[in-house]
Amino acid sequence: MNLLSGMEKFGFSMDELDILADEKPKAGEAGTAKAAPVVKQEKDFVIDKKVRCPVCDKEFPIKAVLATKLKRLEPDFDLKPNYEHVDKIKYDFMSCPNCGYSALDTTFAKIDTARVKLIRAEFCPSFKPQPDEKLPDIYDYEYSVEKFKLALICTMKKRAKMSEKAYVCLKIAWLRRAQLKELEGNKEADPKLVEMITKEYEGFYSQAYEGFMKAISSETPPYCGMASEAVEFMLANMSMHYKKYDAAMKLIARLIQSPSTSRKLKDKCVDLKDEITAKAAAEKAQG
């Protein structure tokens, strides 16, 4: 019996109905078909959003990362977070193209009336909008660094806490370091560009270090949303980077002795203490 009889008037003539036919492998294909691997890219984790500026009250589009879909990787020695496929830090800011107000994404909307007045009085009059600038599909390092620099100017103009200024500097330094890593082994990379990026990395990293060291002695935690233990561990690593071993050891000792430090972090502190001791001894032997 032809279950589809009568369909001829619609132009379909089928002798037999078999709804599973499309799923059956064709002759010679059984067991050979393999699904192509899905290669994920940065754009797969980026979405469009709209944000309202608290300074000029105008809405503007941004790109944001779906952080819940990201796979976290091992962080850098100074706790720079790393993720598979995306350098999320490139998207950790918001920048209004109308008035120029820019800030970390975590602090953008958290601005009081007094600081709004400071931005309007001391930043906005100097800001020149870029009418031809288009929002890119994904942010590259140059684009993000440029916006973070605007955010740094805003943090200074609105008299932000030292920890916020230091954190913006740290984000810029992390971006420049990642950019240098991306350029490693690229024989076509412009030496002048590499030199400029290196100088900016070192300059902003130094500003971040000095700023956070001042913040932990003059501010009450959390520091720009970061727990004191995380900041002190980060600074211990940064101190070792600058070969300031005494400062590093003081921070580590304070973390180990503190009852609020987690066991996991204390274990990391013990490992870092051994590393600092070894490096200090090696440098002393060479000197």
Condensed to tens digits (0 to 9), the pLDDT of residues 38-88 reads 778 999 999 999 999 999 999 999 999 998 889 999 999 999 999 999 999
Token pair for 222: 């959390």
Q: Say what the pLDDT of residue 34 is.
A: 63
Average pLDDT, the chain: 91
Pairing of strands 82-83, 72-73: antiparallel
Task: List beta partners, residue 62.
Answer: 49
Residue 160: pLDDT over 80: yes
Q: Give the domain ranges of the chain.
A: 227-287
Q: Say what the pLDDT of residue 15 is.
A: 67
d(CA 42, CA 117): 37
pTM above 0.75, yes or no: yes
Residue with tokens 């727990």: 227
